[in-house]
Structure 1
Amino acid sequence: MSDETLLLPVGGTGDRPPLYCVHAVSGSPFPYVPFGRSFGAGRPVFAVEAPGFDNDARPVADVTELAERYAALLRTRHPAGQTALLGWSFGGVVAHETALRLQETGTDAALLVLVDSTCPTPAPVPPEPELLRRFVQDMLAEAGLPAHEVRATHAALPQESAPEPFFAAATAGDSLLADLAPALLHRRYDVFRAHVHALYTHRARPGLRSRTLCVQAADSPPVARTWDGVLDGAEVVTVPGDHHSVWSGAGLERIAAEVSGRLAGVEVR
Protein backbone atom coordinates (compact mmCIF):
# COMPACT_ATOMS: atom_id res chain seq x y z
CA MET A 1 0.00 0.00 0.00
CA SER A 2 1.42 3.37 -1.02
CA ASP A 3 1.82 6.07 1.61
CA GLU A 4 0.05 8.38 -0.87
CA THR A 5 -3.18 6.84 0.46
CA LEU A 6 -2.45 8.43 3.85
CA LEU A 7 -3.12 11.92 2.45
CA LEU A 8 -6.62 13.37 2.72
CA PRO A 9 -7.29 16.63 0.80
CA VAL A 10 -9.12 18.88 3.26
CA GLY A 11 -9.13 22.22 1.47
CA GLY A 12 -7.66 24.50 -1.14
CA THR A 13 -6.49 24.04 -4.70
CA GLY A 14 -3.92 25.62 -6.96
CA ASP A 15 -0.17 25.68 -7.42
CA ARG A 16 0.95 27.35 -4.20
CA PRO A 17 3.10 25.21 -1.88
CA PRO A 18 0.78 22.96 0.15
CA LEU A 19 0.33 22.62 3.88
CA TYR A 20 0.46 19.13 5.39
CA CYS A 21 -1.26 18.59 8.76
CA VAL A 22 0.07 15.60 10.70
CA HIS A 23 -2.34 13.46 12.73
CA ALA A 24 -2.45 13.58 16.52
CA VAL A 25 -2.16 10.52 18.78
CA SER A 26 -5.46 9.06 17.51
CA GLY A 27 -4.03 8.80 14.01
CA SER A 28 -7.14 10.43 12.55
CA PRO A 29 -6.93 13.06 9.79
CA PHE A 30 -10.49 14.27 10.39
CA PRO A 31 -9.91 16.94 13.08
CA TYR A 32 -8.23 18.99 10.34
CA VAL A 33 -11.25 19.00 8.00
CA PRO A 34 -12.80 22.22 9.46
CA PHE A 35 -9.37 23.86 9.41
CA GLY A 36 -8.83 22.98 5.76
CA ARG A 37 -12.23 24.39 4.84
CA SER A 38 -11.64 27.63 6.73
CA PHE A 39 -8.12 28.16 5.43
CA GLY A 40 -9.20 29.54 2.08
CA ALA A 41 -9.10 28.29 -1.49
CA GLY A 42 -5.71 29.57 -2.55
CA ARG A 43 -3.44 26.89 -1.10
CA PRO A 44 -3.82 23.09 -1.01
CA VAL A 45 -4.18 21.62 2.49
CA PHE A 46 -3.75 17.91 3.23
CA ALA A 47 -4.31 15.94 6.41
CA VAL A 48 -1.98 13.01 7.08
CA GLU A 49 -3.62 9.81 8.34
CA ALA A 50 -1.58 7.35 10.40
CA PRO A 51 -0.82 3.85 9.11
CA GLY A 52 -3.38 1.45 10.56
CA PHE A 53 -6.04 4.04 11.35
CA ASP A 54 -8.43 3.07 8.56
CA ASN A 55 -6.71 0.04 7.06
CA ASP A 56 -4.88 -3.15 8.06
CA ALA A 57 -1.41 -1.60 8.05
CA ARG A 58 0.82 -2.10 11.06
CA PRO A 59 0.60 0.85 13.48
CA VAL A 60 3.97 2.56 13.89
CA ALA A 61 5.33 2.88 17.43
CA ASP A 62 8.33 5.08 16.63
CA VAL A 63 8.39 8.82 15.85
CA THR A 64 11.52 8.44 13.72
CA GLU A 65 9.92 5.79 11.52
CA LEU A 66 6.78 7.88 11.02
CA ALA A 67 8.88 10.95 10.20
CA GLU A 68 11.05 9.05 7.73
CA ARG A 69 7.98 7.78 5.90
CA TYR A 70 6.29 11.18 5.78
CA ALA A 71 9.49 12.96 4.74
CA ALA A 72 10.04 10.44 1.93
CA LEU A 73 6.47 11.00 0.75
CA LEU A 74 6.88 14.78 0.73
CA ARG A 75 10.23 14.60 -1.05
CA THR A 76 8.59 12.52 -3.78
CA ARG A 77 5.71 14.96 -4.16
CA HIS A 78 7.81 18.13 -3.83
CA PRO A 79 11.45 17.59 -4.81
CA ALA A 80 12.23 21.31 -4.41
CA GLY A 81 10.98 21.28 -0.82
CA GLN A 82 8.21 23.88 -1.14
CA THR A 83 6.00 22.56 1.63
CA ALA A 84 4.81 23.55 5.09
CA LEU A 85 4.03 21.29 8.05
CA LEU A 86 1.52 21.59 10.88
CA GLY A 87 1.03 19.19 13.76
CA TRP A 88 -1.37 19.18 16.68
CA SER A 89 -0.30 17.59 19.97
CA PHE A 90 1.58 14.34 19.12
CA GLY A 91 1.35 15.45 15.51
CA GLY A 92 3.59 18.39 16.32
CA VAL A 93 6.30 16.02 17.55
CA VAL A 94 6.10 13.99 14.34
CA ALA A 95 5.95 17.12 12.18
CA HIS A 96 9.07 18.50 13.89
CA GLU A 97 11.04 15.33 13.26
CA THR A 98 9.72 15.21 9.68
CA ALA A 99 10.94 18.77 9.11
CA LEU A 100 14.38 17.75 10.40
CA ARG A 101 14.44 14.77 8.03
CA LEU A 102 13.57 17.04 5.11
CA GLN A 103 16.26 19.51 6.14
CA GLU A 104 18.89 16.76 6.27
CA THR A 105 18.20 15.94 2.62
CA GLY A 106 18.19 19.54 1.43
CA THR A 107 14.43 20.02 1.13
CA ASP A 108 13.64 22.37 4.00
CA ALA A 109 10.04 23.00 5.04
CA ALA A 110 9.11 26.66 4.66
CA LEU A 111 7.13 26.69 7.92
CA LEU A 112 6.51 24.40 10.89
CA VAL A 113 3.41 25.00 13.03
CA LEU A 114 3.06 23.25 16.40
CA VAL A 115 -0.47 23.44 17.80
CA ASP A 116 -0.66 22.84 21.56
CA SER A 117 2.22 20.40 21.24
CA THR A 118 4.53 19.58 24.15
CA CYS A 119 8.18 18.80 23.48
CA PRO A 120 8.75 15.14 24.43
CA THR A 121 11.34 13.66 26.74
CA PRO A 122 11.68 9.89 27.30
CA ALA A 123 9.55 8.56 30.18
CA PRO A 124 7.93 5.25 31.23
CA VAL A 125 4.95 4.34 29.07
CA PRO A 126 1.72 4.38 31.14
CA PRO A 127 0.27 0.94 32.04
CA GLU A 128 -2.47 -0.62 29.92
CA PRO A 129 -5.45 0.26 32.17
CA GLU A 130 -4.49 3.94 32.06
CA LEU A 131 -3.94 3.82 28.29
CA LEU A 132 -7.38 2.29 27.73
CA ARG A 133 -9.10 5.05 29.66
CA ARG A 134 -7.00 7.77 28.04
CA PHE A 135 -7.91 6.38 24.63
CA VAL A 136 -11.65 6.64 25.22
CA GLN A 137 -11.29 10.09 26.76
CA ASP A 138 -9.25 11.35 23.80
CA MET A 139 -11.61 9.78 21.26
CA LEU A 140 -14.69 11.43 22.76
CA ALA A 141 -13.02 14.82 23.13
CA GLU A 142 -11.69 14.69 19.56
CA ALA A 143 -15.22 13.94 18.36
CA GLY A 144 -16.36 17.25 19.87
CA LEU A 145 -18.16 15.95 22.95
CA PRO A 146 -18.48 18.70 25.60
CA ALA A 147 -15.90 18.48 28.37
CA HIS A 148 -18.46 17.70 31.09
CA GLU A 149 -19.81 14.75 29.08
CA VAL A 150 -16.29 13.45 28.45
CA ARG A 151 -15.61 13.58 32.20
CA ALA A 152 -18.89 11.80 33.01
CA THR A 153 -18.25 9.05 30.49
CA HIS A 154 -14.67 8.68 31.67
CA ALA A 155 -15.85 8.29 35.28
CA ALA A 156 -18.27 5.54 34.25
CA LEU A 157 -15.74 3.47 32.31
CA PRO A 158 -15.11 -0.08 33.52
CA GLN A 159 -12.03 -1.02 35.49
CA GLU A 160 -11.04 -3.85 33.13
CA SER A 161 -7.31 -3.99 32.46
CA ALA A 162 -7.27 -5.80 29.09
CA PRO A 163 -8.63 -4.40 25.79
CA GLU A 164 -11.19 -7.10 24.93
CA PRO A 165 -13.21 -7.07 28.17
CA PHE A 166 -12.74 -3.31 28.52
CA PHE A 167 -14.28 -2.54 25.13
CA ALA A 168 -17.04 -5.10 25.59
CA ALA A 169 -18.03 -3.46 28.89
CA ALA A 170 -17.52 0.11 27.62
CA THR A 171 -19.94 -0.40 24.70
CA ALA A 172 -22.64 -2.19 26.70
CA GLY A 173 -25.99 -0.72 27.79
CA ASP A 174 -26.69 2.99 27.42
CA SER A 175 -23.08 4.08 27.14
CA LEU A 176 -22.21 6.89 24.75
CA LEU A 177 -19.98 4.30 23.12
CA ALA A 178 -22.80 1.80 22.57
CA ASP A 179 -23.01 2.42 18.81
CA LEU A 180 -19.33 1.61 18.28
CA ALA A 181 -18.18 -1.92 17.50
CA PRO A 182 -15.63 -3.31 19.96
CA ALA A 183 -13.54 -4.51 16.99
CA LEU A 184 -13.32 -0.97 15.61
CA LEU A 185 -12.37 0.40 19.03
CA HIS A 186 -9.68 -2.24 19.36
CA ARG A 187 -8.15 -1.38 15.98
CA ARG A 188 -8.14 2.32 16.74
CA TYR A 189 -6.72 1.60 20.19
CA ASP A 190 -3.81 -0.30 18.63
CA VAL A 191 -2.91 2.89 16.73
CA PHE A 192 -3.34 5.07 19.82
CA ARG A 193 -1.21 2.73 21.96
CA ALA A 194 1.55 2.63 19.33
CA HIS A 195 1.65 6.41 19.17
CA VAL A 196 1.74 6.82 22.95
CA HIS A 197 4.70 4.43 22.99
CA ALA A 198 6.34 6.49 20.23
CA LEU A 199 5.80 9.72 22.17
CA TYR A 200 7.13 8.40 25.49
CA THR A 201 10.28 6.97 23.90
CA HIS A 202 11.21 9.93 21.68
CA ARG A 203 13.66 12.74 22.40
CA ALA A 204 13.27 15.80 20.17
CA ARG A 205 16.46 16.93 18.43
CA PRO A 206 17.61 20.55 18.05
CA GLY A 207 18.90 22.10 14.85
CA LEU A 208 15.79 22.89 12.79
CA ARG A 209 16.21 25.99 10.61
CA SER A 210 12.61 26.30 9.40
CA ARG A 211 10.48 29.19 10.57
CA THR A 212 8.43 27.86 13.48
CA LEU A 213 5.16 28.94 15.05
CA CYS A 214 4.01 27.53 18.40
CA VAL A 215 0.26 27.87 18.91
CA GLN A 216 -0.78 27.77 22.57
CA ALA A 217 -4.39 26.99 23.57
CA ALA A 218 -5.42 29.59 26.16
CA ASP A 219 -7.04 26.99 28.44
CA SER A 220 -4.22 24.42 28.24
CA PRO A 221 -1.05 24.22 30.36
CA PRO A 222 1.78 26.24 28.75
CA VAL A 223 3.62 24.21 26.13
CA ALA A 224 5.75 26.62 24.10
CA ARG A 225 8.52 26.88 26.72
CA THR A 226 8.92 23.10 26.73
CA TRP A 227 10.61 23.50 23.33
CA ASP A 228 13.31 25.80 24.73
CA GLY A 229 16.72 24.43 23.78
CA VAL A 230 15.22 22.47 20.88
CA LEU A 231 13.62 25.25 18.83
CA ASP A 232 15.41 28.60 18.75
CA GLY A 233 13.48 31.72 17.79
CA ALA A 234 10.05 30.12 17.55
CA GLU A 235 7.12 32.54 17.46
CA VAL A 236 4.36 31.98 20.01
CA VAL A 237 0.69 32.93 19.71
CA THR A 238 -2.17 32.12 22.07
CA VAL A 239 -5.60 31.23 20.70
CA PRO A 240 -8.98 30.75 22.43
CA GLY A 241 -9.96 27.29 23.61
CA ASP A 242 -8.52 24.19 25.21
CA HIS A 243 -6.53 21.32 23.73
CA HIS A 244 -9.46 20.02 21.66
CA SER A 245 -11.77 23.01 21.26
CA VAL A 246 -9.11 25.08 19.45
CA TRP A 247 -10.30 23.31 16.31
CA SER A 248 -13.68 25.04 16.42
CA GLY A 249 -15.07 28.55 16.77
CA ALA A 250 -12.75 31.43 17.56
CA GLY A 251 -9.75 29.17 18.09
CA LEU A 252 -10.06 27.68 14.62
CA GLU A 253 -10.49 31.10 13.01
CA ARG A 254 -7.39 32.42 14.78
CA ILE A 255 -5.23 29.43 13.87
CA ALA A 256 -6.27 29.69 10.22
CA ALA A 257 -5.49 33.43 10.18
CA GLU A 258 -2.09 33.03 11.87
CA VAL A 259 -0.97 30.21 9.59
CA SER A 260 -2.35 31.86 6.45
CA GLY A 261 -0.53 35.07 7.26
CA ARG A 262 2.82 33.36 7.71
CA LEU A 263 2.42 31.37 4.50
CA ALA A 264 1.43 34.42 2.44
CA GLY A 265 4.96 34.92 1.16
CA VAL A 266 5.72 31.25 0.47
CA GLU A 267 5.48 30.73 -3.26
CA VAL A 268 6.66 28.14 -5.77
CA ARG A 269 10.29 28.70 -6.65
Structure 2
Amino acid sequence: MRPRRDVGPALVHHLARPAAGRGTVHLVHPGALAAGVHRALADALPDGVGLTVLDLSGLPEYGEAALTGGRAATTVEALAERLADEHARLHDGGPYTLAGWSFGGVVAQAMAELQPPRLRPHRLVLLDSIAPTAEYQQPDDALEPSLLLGWFAMYLGAKRGRPVEVDAGRLAGRGVTDGLRLVLAAAAASGALPADTSPPGLRKLYDTYVDGLLRNNRLTAPYTPRPTGLPLVLVTADRSLVPGDPTLGWGPLAPHGLELHRSPGDHYTMLSRPDAAAVIAGLVRPAGVPHPAHATKV
Protein backbone atom coordinates (compact mmCIF):
# COMPACT_ATOMS: atom_id res chain seq x y z
CA MET A 1 0.00 0.00 0.00
CA ARG A 2 1.32 3.44 -0.92
CA PRO A 3 1.60 6.03 1.86
CA ARG A 4 -1.09 8.69 1.81
CA ARG A 5 0.09 11.86 0.11
CA ASP A 6 -0.58 15.31 1.49
CA VAL A 7 -3.69 16.65 -0.22
CA GLY A 8 -2.71 20.30 0.05
CA PRO A 9 -1.91 23.14 2.43
CA ALA A 10 -3.65 23.39 5.78
CA LEU A 11 -6.24 26.10 6.29
CA VAL A 12 -5.08 27.07 9.80
CA HIS A 13 -1.47 27.68 10.85
CA HIS A 14 -0.73 28.60 14.47
CA LEU A 15 2.62 30.39 14.15
CA ALA A 16 2.54 31.73 17.72
CA ARG A 17 0.25 30.68 20.57
CA PRO A 18 -1.16 33.51 22.72
CA ALA A 19 -0.52 33.88 26.42
CA ALA A 20 -3.54 34.54 28.64
CA GLY A 21 -5.03 37.96 27.98
CA ARG A 22 -2.50 38.97 25.31
CA GLY A 23 -4.67 38.39 22.27
CA THR A 24 -4.11 37.07 18.78
CA VAL A 25 -3.56 38.36 15.28
CA HIS A 26 -5.65 36.48 12.71
CA LEU A 27 -4.13 36.99 9.27
CA VAL A 28 -5.77 35.97 5.97
CA HIS A 29 -3.15 34.71 3.52
CA PRO A 30 -3.92 33.98 -0.15
CA GLY A 31 -1.06 31.63 -0.89
CA ALA A 32 1.60 32.35 -3.54
CA LEU A 33 4.22 32.13 -0.79
CA ALA A 34 3.95 29.47 1.93
CA ALA A 35 2.11 30.55 5.09
CA GLY A 36 5.35 30.14 7.06
CA VAL A 37 6.60 33.38 5.49
CA HIS A 38 4.72 35.14 8.32
CA ARG A 39 7.11 33.75 10.94
CA ALA A 40 9.00 37.04 10.73
CA LEU A 41 5.86 38.79 11.98
CA ALA A 42 5.34 36.17 14.69
CA ASP A 43 8.87 36.88 15.94
CA ALA A 44 8.32 40.64 15.89
CA LEU A 45 5.03 40.67 17.83
CA PRO A 46 5.09 41.63 21.53
CA ASP A 47 5.73 38.72 23.88
CA GLY A 48 2.67 36.56 24.39
CA VAL A 49 0.71 37.80 21.36
CA GLY A 50 -0.45 34.95 19.13
CA LEU A 51 -0.44 34.75 15.35
CA THR A 52 -2.83 32.49 13.46
CA VAL A 53 -2.68 32.43 9.67
CA LEU A 54 -5.81 31.49 7.72
CA ASP A 55 -4.44 30.22 4.42
CA LEU A 56 -6.93 30.41 1.56
CA SER A 57 -4.87 27.83 -0.32
CA GLY A 58 -6.19 25.32 2.21
CA LEU A 59 -9.62 25.64 0.57
CA PRO A 60 -9.52 23.38 -2.51
CA GLU A 61 -12.03 25.45 -4.47
CA TYR A 62 -9.60 28.37 -4.18
CA GLY A 63 -6.15 26.80 -4.06
CA GLU A 64 -6.61 24.35 -6.93
CA ALA A 65 -7.75 27.09 -9.31
CA ALA A 66 -4.14 28.31 -9.58
CA LEU A 67 -3.25 24.90 -11.03
CA THR A 68 -6.22 24.48 -13.35
CA GLY A 69 -6.45 27.68 -15.39
CA GLY A 70 -7.26 30.34 -12.79
CA ARG A 71 -11.03 29.91 -12.58
CA ALA A 72 -12.25 29.27 -9.05
CA ALA A 73 -15.62 27.66 -8.33
CA THR A 74 -16.32 30.06 -5.48
CA THR A 75 -16.86 33.75 -4.69
CA VAL A 76 -15.36 36.34 -2.36
CA GLU A 77 -18.50 36.10 -0.25
CA ALA A 78 -18.26 32.31 0.04
CA LEU A 79 -14.58 32.48 1.01
CA ALA A 80 -15.36 35.11 3.66
CA GLU A 81 -18.20 33.00 5.08
CA ARG A 82 -15.94 29.95 5.28
CA LEU A 83 -13.24 31.88 7.13
CA ALA A 84 -15.77 33.57 9.40
CA ASP A 85 -17.03 30.13 10.44
CA GLU A 86 -13.46 28.97 11.05
CA HIS A 87 -12.67 32.09 13.05
CA ALA A 88 -15.74 31.60 15.25
CA ARG A 89 -14.42 28.13 16.04
CA LEU A 90 -10.93 29.41 16.83
CA HIS A 91 -11.78 32.56 18.75
CA ASP A 92 -11.02 32.22 22.45
CA GLY A 93 -12.89 35.34 23.54
CA GLY A 94 -9.73 37.43 23.91
CA PRO A 95 -8.78 40.58 22.01
CA TYR A 96 -7.69 40.14 18.42
CA THR A 97 -6.78 42.01 15.29
CA LEU A 98 -7.86 40.91 11.82
CA ALA A 99 -5.36 41.39 8.99
CA GLY A 100 -4.96 40.32 5.39
CA TRP A 101 -2.17 40.40 2.85
CA SER A 102 -2.77 41.05 -0.85
CA PHE A 103 -6.03 39.37 -1.99
CA GLY A 104 -6.31 38.11 1.58
CA GLY A 105 -7.11 41.70 2.56
CA VAL A 106 -10.17 41.67 0.28
CA VAL A 107 -11.42 38.49 1.95
CA ALA A 108 -10.57 39.80 5.43
CA GLN A 109 -12.58 42.96 4.78
CA ALA A 110 -15.58 40.90 3.65
CA MET A 111 -15.11 38.58 6.62
CA ALA A 112 -15.12 41.51 9.08
CA GLU A 113 -18.51 42.63 7.78
CA LEU A 114 -19.95 39.18 8.54
CA GLN A 115 -18.84 39.17 12.18
CA PRO A 116 -21.46 39.74 14.90
CA PRO A 117 -20.64 42.69 17.18
CA ARG A 118 -19.26 40.44 19.94
CA LEU A 119 -16.71 38.91 17.54
CA ARG A 120 -15.63 42.02 15.66
CA PRO A 121 -11.98 43.03 15.87
CA HIS A 122 -11.07 46.51 16.98
CA ARG A 123 -9.32 47.21 13.69
CA LEU A 124 -8.66 45.76 10.28
CA VAL A 125 -5.09 45.89 8.93
CA LEU A 126 -4.49 45.46 5.20
CA LEU A 127 -1.01 44.57 3.95
CA ASP A 128 -0.44 45.91 0.42
CA SER A 129 -3.96 44.86 -0.49
CA ILE A 130 -5.67 46.36 -3.54
CA ALA A 131 -9.27 47.41 -2.91
CA PRO A 132 -12.07 45.62 -4.79
CA THR A 133 -13.41 48.94 -6.10
CA ALA A 134 -14.36 49.91 -9.64
CA GLU A 135 -11.03 51.52 -10.53
CA TYR A 136 -9.21 48.25 -9.83
CA GLN A 137 -11.81 45.78 -11.10
CA GLN A 138 -10.20 45.20 -14.46
CA PRO A 139 -10.69 42.61 -17.24
CA ASP A 140 -8.02 39.94 -17.62
CA ASP A 141 -6.47 41.61 -20.66
CA ALA A 142 -5.66 44.70 -18.58
CA LEU A 143 -2.95 42.59 -16.92
CA GLU A 144 -0.33 43.10 -19.61
CA PRO A 145 2.76 40.88 -19.86
CA SER A 146 5.19 43.67 -18.95
CA LEU A 147 3.25 44.31 -15.72
CA LEU A 148 2.96 40.62 -14.86
CA LEU A 149 6.62 39.94 -15.62
CA GLY A 150 7.70 42.69 -13.22
CA TRP A 151 5.48 41.26 -10.48
CA PHE A 152 6.75 37.76 -11.23
CA ALA A 153 10.36 38.91 -10.84
CA MET A 154 9.51 40.29 -7.37
CA TYR A 155 7.74 37.06 -6.46
CA LEU A 156 10.59 34.89 -7.71
CA GLY A 157 13.10 36.90 -5.70
CA ALA A 158 11.07 36.50 -2.52
CA LYS A 159 10.48 32.80 -3.12
CA ARG A 160 14.18 32.12 -3.73
CA GLY A 161 15.52 34.50 -1.09
CA ARG A 162 17.58 36.51 -3.60
CA PRO A 163 16.48 39.72 -5.36
CA VAL A 164 15.60 39.45 -9.04
CA GLU A 165 15.96 42.97 -10.42
CA VAL A 166 14.69 43.65 -13.94
CA ASP A 167 14.34 47.23 -15.13
CA ALA A 168 10.72 47.97 -15.98
CA GLY A 169 11.79 49.86 -19.09
CA ARG A 170 13.41 46.72 -20.50
CA LEU A 171 10.19 44.76 -19.99
CA ALA A 172 7.95 47.37 -21.63
CA GLY A 173 6.39 46.09 -24.84
CA ARG A 174 7.90 42.62 -24.58
CA GLY A 175 5.99 39.40 -24.83
CA VAL A 176 6.16 36.66 -22.25
CA THR A 177 8.89 34.62 -23.96
CA ASP A 178 11.27 37.55 -24.40
CA GLY A 179 10.48 38.95 -20.98
CA LEU A 180 11.15 35.65 -19.24
CA ARG A 181 14.59 35.56 -20.84
CA LEU A 182 15.38 38.82 -19.04
CA VAL A 183 13.94 37.50 -15.77
CA LEU A 184 15.96 34.31 -16.08
CA ALA A 185 19.17 36.23 -16.76
CA ALA A 186 18.58 38.46 -13.73
CA ALA A 187 17.70 35.47 -11.53
CA ALA A 188 20.85 33.61 -12.60
CA ALA A 189 22.99 36.70 -12.00
CA SER A 190 21.70 37.10 -8.43
CA GLY A 191 21.90 33.40 -7.61
CA ALA A 192 18.12 33.09 -7.31
CA LEU A 193 18.16 30.38 -10.00
CA PRO A 194 20.90 28.15 -11.40
CA ALA A 195 22.34 29.42 -14.67
CA ASP A 196 21.20 26.22 -16.43
CA THR A 197 17.54 26.64 -15.48
CA SER A 198 15.47 25.72 -18.51
CA PRO A 199 13.21 28.40 -20.04
CA PRO A 200 10.28 25.90 -20.24
CA GLY A 201 10.63 25.21 -16.50
CA LEU A 202 10.55 28.92 -15.68
CA ARG A 203 7.59 29.37 -18.04
CA LYS A 204 5.65 26.71 -16.12
CA LEU A 205 6.27 28.53 -12.84
CA TYR A 206 5.27 31.82 -14.47
CA ASP A 207 2.04 30.37 -15.85
CA THR A 208 1.06 29.02 -12.43
CA TYR A 209 1.83 32.40 -10.87
CA VAL A 210 -0.28 34.22 -13.47
CA ASP A 211 -3.16 31.78 -13.05
CA GLY A 212 -3.18 32.65 -9.35
CA LEU A 213 -3.41 36.34 -10.19
CA LEU A 214 -6.14 35.74 -12.76
CA ARG A 215 -8.09 33.71 -10.20
CA ASN A 216 -8.03 36.63 -7.77
CA ASN A 217 -8.86 39.14 -10.50
CA ARG A 218 -11.84 37.05 -11.65
CA LEU A 219 -13.11 36.67 -8.09
CA THR A 220 -12.86 40.42 -7.49
CA ALA A 221 -14.43 41.55 -10.79
CA PRO A 222 -18.10 40.74 -9.96
CA TYR A 223 -17.78 41.45 -6.23
CA THR A 224 -19.52 44.47 -4.69
CA PRO A 225 -18.03 45.21 -1.25
CA ARG A 226 -19.79 46.98 1.57
CA PRO A 227 -18.10 49.95 3.27
CA THR A 228 -16.17 48.81 6.31
CA GLY A 229 -17.68 49.29 9.76
CA LEU A 230 -14.20 49.40 11.31
CA PRO A 231 -11.21 51.72 11.13
CA LEU A 232 -8.92 50.58 8.32
CA VAL A 233 -5.14 50.51 8.54
CA LEU A 234 -3.32 50.11 5.23
CA VAL A 235 0.37 49.23 5.01
CA THR A 236 1.83 49.63 1.53
CA ALA A 237 5.24 48.29 0.56
CA ASP A 238 7.93 50.62 -0.74
CA ARG A 239 7.64 48.59 -3.96
CA SER A 240 3.92 47.99 -4.07
CA LEU A 241 2.18 46.26 -6.94
CA VAL A 242 0.53 49.63 -7.61
CA PRO A 243 3.15 52.20 -6.59
CA GLY A 244 1.25 55.30 -7.72
CA ASP A 245 -1.69 55.09 -5.29
CA PRO A 246 -0.92 55.26 -1.55
CA THR A 247 -4.53 54.30 -0.69
CA LEU A 248 -4.74 51.38 -3.17
CA GLY A 249 -8.38 52.37 -3.70
CA TRP A 250 -9.61 51.81 -0.12
CA GLY A 251 -10.84 55.36 0.51
CA PRO A 252 -14.50 54.79 -0.55
CA LEU A 253 -14.70 51.70 1.69
CA ALA A 254 -13.33 53.40 4.81
CA PRO A 255 -16.03 55.71 6.25
CA HIS A 256 -14.53 55.26 9.73
CA GLY A 257 -11.08 56.35 8.64
CA LEU A 258 -8.11 55.08 6.64
CA GLU A 259 -4.72 55.16 8.37
CA LEU A 260 -1.78 54.91 5.98
CA HIS A 261 1.67 53.45 6.68
CA ARG A 262 4.62 52.31 4.59
CA SER A 263 6.81 49.27 4.96
CA PRO A 264 10.29 48.45 3.68
CA GLY A 265 10.53 45.87 0.92
CA ASP A 266 8.29 44.95 -1.98
CA HIS A 267 4.88 43.31 -2.11
CA TYR A 268 6.40 39.93 -1.22
CA THR A 269 9.51 40.66 0.85
CA MET A 270 7.52 42.88 3.23
CA LEU A 271 6.40 39.58 4.78
CA SER A 272 9.87 38.24 5.53
CA ARG A 273 12.09 41.27 6.18
CA PRO A 274 12.67 41.89 9.91
CA ASP A 275 12.48 45.68 9.45
CA ALA A 276 9.12 45.35 7.69
CA ALA A 277 7.85 42.90 10.32
CA ALA A 278 8.73 45.44 13.02
CA VAL A 279 6.53 48.05 11.34
CA ILE A 280 3.63 45.66 10.85
CA ALA A 281 3.87 44.22 14.38
CA GLY A 282 3.28 47.65 15.87
CA LEU A 283 0.10 48.06 13.83
CA VAL A 284 -1.52 44.64 14.27
CA ARG A 285 -1.03 44.27 18.02
CA PRO A 286 -4.40 43.60 19.70
CA ALA A 287 -6.10 46.22 21.87
CA GLY A 288 -4.48 46.70 25.24
CA VAL A 289 -1.10 45.28 24.24
CA PRO A 290 1.72 47.84 24.58
CA HIS A 291 3.43 49.04 21.42
CA PRO A 292 6.64 47.00 20.93
CA ALA A 293 9.70 49.17 21.42
CA HIS A 294 11.26 48.12 18.12
CA ALA A 295 8.27 48.96 15.88
CA THR A 296 8.48 52.22 13.95
CA LYS A 297 5.60 54.13 12.40
CA VAL A 298 6.37 55.33 8.86
Common fold by TM > 0.5 = yes
User: What's 2:295 paired with?
Assistant: none
Pairwise CA RMSD of aligned residues?
Answer: 4.4
User: What's 1:224 paired with?
Assistant: 247
User: What's 2:277 paired with?
Assistant: 252
Q: Distance in 1 between matches of 2:222 and 2:212?
A: 16
Label 1:184 to 1:118 Cα distance change in 2 as closer, same or farther (>3 A).
closer
Listed one character per residue, the Cα deviations across residues 56-99 of structure 1 (whole Å, up to 9, x for unaligned) are 96434532222111111111222758542111222211110111
Task: State whether residues 25 and 192 of structure 1, in contact with CA within 8 Å, keep that contact through their aligned partners in structure 2.
Answer: no
Q: TM-score, normalised by structure 2?
A: 0.66
Q: Distance in 1 between matches of 2:155 and 2:263?
A: 21
Match of 1:241 among 264, 277, 294: 264
Q: Distance in 2 between matches of 1:253 and 1:67?
A: 28
Q: Distance in 2 between matches of 1:150 and 1:31?
A: 23
Match of 1:10 among 15, 29, 43: 15
User: What's 2:107 paired with?
Assistant: 94
Label 1:151 to 1:198 Cα distance change in 2 as closer, same or farther (>3 A).
farther
Give 2:251's aligned amino acid.
D
Q: Which runs of 5+ in 1 are unaligned?
A: none
1:55-66 equivalence runs, <5 A: 58-59=64-65, 60=72, 62-66=75-79
2:74 maps to 1:68: no
127-136 or 255-264, which deviates more? 127-136
Q: Distance in 2 between matches of 1:263 and 1:3?
A: 37
Paired-residue identity, %: 21
Question: What secondary structure, in the 3-state scheme, does the structure 1 residue paired with 2:57 have?
Answer: coil
Q: Distance in 2 between matches of 1:98 and 1:254?
A: 24
Task: State whether residues 96 and 287 of structure 2, in contact with CA within 8 Å, keep that contact through their aligned partners in structure 1.
Answer: no
Give 1:115's aligned amino acid.
L
Task: State whether residues 25 and 195 of structure 1, in contact with CA within 8 Å, keep that contact through their aligned partners in structure 2.
Answer: no
Q: Distance in 1 between matches of 2:50 and 2:132?
A: 29
The Cα of 1:46 is off from its aligned counterpart by: 1.4
Label 1:226 to 1:236 Cα distance change in 2 as closer, same or farther (>3 A).
same
User: What's 1:146 paired with?
Assistant: 163
Q: Which runs of 5+ in 2 are unaligned?
A: 1-5, 66-71, 291-298
Q: Distance in 2 between matches of 1:118 and 1:57?
A: 20
Task: State whether residues 125 and 283 of structure 2, in contact with CA within 8 Å, keep that contact through their aligned partners in structure 1.
Answer: no
Label 1:182 to 1:226 Cα distance change in 2 as closer, same or farther (>3 A).
closer
133-142 or 90-99, which deviates more? 133-142
User: What's 2:128 paired with?
Assistant: 116
Label 1:129 to 1:213 Cα distance change in 2 as closer, same or farther (>3 A).
closer
User: What's 1:212 paired with?
Assistant: 232
Q: TM-score, normalised by structure 1?
A: 0.72
User: What's 1:77 paired with?
Assistant: 90
What is the number of equivalent residue pairs in this alignment?
Answer: 259
